[in-house]
Amino acid sequence: MLKLTLLGTGAAGGVPLYGCECPACERATMQPAFERRPCSAMVEWGRSSSQERLIIDAGLMDLHARFPAGTYKGFLLTHFHVDHVQGFFHMRWGKAESIPVWCPDDPEGCADLLKNPGCLRFLPEMKHAETMTINGLRVTPLAMKHSRPTFGYLLEFGTKSIAYLTDTEGLPAHTMDFLRSQRRLNALVLDCSFPPNHDGTNHGDIENAKRIYEVLNPDELIITHIGHELDHWLMNNDVPDWLEIGREGMTI
């Protein structure tokens, strides 16, 4: 069994965005099911009697309450932007045994996390497209196109495969080539922060997502890291039949 649960699907500002009165933010204010918290996920694998668990990113501020010490193997960190690590800042002072955090090699880290990691054990030894195994789960870090060193992750267990690729504007050519060389993906969870024709960098839009879908042709494509502008666009346009909209609590 390989399962991914989306814990947060929001861009850095979240939805509702502070002070915004657009229809998407008003909807999320009135209906908590439409809120979007910091982008993160949980991967579980193995037999039902002995499932393992990893957390992807640490932007949620209640991680210590959701996942008591000893209930997961560690963290896969995509990068060191604040909205992906802020949950670490108080967790690190806990009395838990050392918690591994597999991460990109970024000496700047975030604030003083690397200098004062507490119970966190940062492991920046991973390399692009070099697979490691964590208790039977095959994890392949893949370079993303972002303003900081950033990894997406190909997750494989048994015959199942899920790619979790967030905080990227499209995909670098060598990452796309690697994924094309693999067996067809069961699921692709992809950064899609903006509606079409977005003018900017660092994150994807609907057009980027469609191009990637057409090349990789996964069984399903789920978008995440969604901003309020895209939510507003989706409220007024038909959802393309090639994508699914990520929501908190969605399981894949």
160-165 and 151-157 strand pairing: antiparallel
Residues of the chain falling short of pLDDT 70: 49
- To 5 degrees, how large is the angle CA 7–CA 239–CA 223? 30
Strand order in the sheet with 187-191: 132-134, 137-143, 151-157, 160-165, 187-191, 221-224, 244-245
Predicted local confidence at residue 201, as pLDDT: 81
Nearest to 166 by CA among 89, 87, 227, 101: 227
Contacts of range 122-128, beta carbons closer than 8 Å, 24 or more positions apart: 126/102, 126/151, 128/174, 128/175
Alpha carbons within 13 A on the beta-carbon side of 200: 13
Predicted local confidence at residue 198, as pLDDT: 87
Residue that is written with structure tokens 């899609």 in the block = 192
In this structure, which amino acid lies at residue 78? T
What is the per-residue pLDDT across 155-176, written as a single tens digit (0 to 9) for each? 999 999 999 999 999 999 999 9
Predicted local confidence at residue 199, as pLDDT: 80
Predicted local confidence at residue 49, as pLDDT: 61
Average pLDDT of the residues of the chain: 96
Cα gap 59→87, rounded to integer Å: 5
Predicted local confidence at residue 200, as pLDDT: 76
Residue that is written with structure tokens 């996964």 in the block = 218
2-245 homologous superfamily: Ribonuclease Z/Hydroxyacylglutathione hydrolase-like (3.60.15.10)
